[in-house]
Amino acid sequence: MTTLPDLIFVTLFAVAGPLIDYSVFWPAYRRLSQPDPAWARRWLWASAIGSQWTLVLVGVALWVASSRSWTSFGFTVPDGWRLWIAVALFLLLAAYHVWAVATLARSSDARTRLRQQLGPLTAVIPHTRTELYWFGGVSLTAGFCEEFLYRGYFI
Q: pLDDT by residue (tens digit) across 94-114?
A: 999 999 999 988 998 988 888
Burial (Cβ within 10 Å: 0-12, 13-18, ≥19) of residue 124: middle
Enumerate the domain spans of the chain: 4-154
pLDDT at 153 over 90: no
- Its pTM stands at 0.77
24-33, 66-75, 116-125, range with the lowest pLDDT: 66-75
Whether the Cβ atoms of residue 141 and residue 148 lie closer than 8 Å to each other: no
pLDDT at 87 over 80: yes
pLDDT in tens, 119-130: 888 888 898 999
2-11, 65-74, 99-108, range with the lowest pLDDT: 65-74
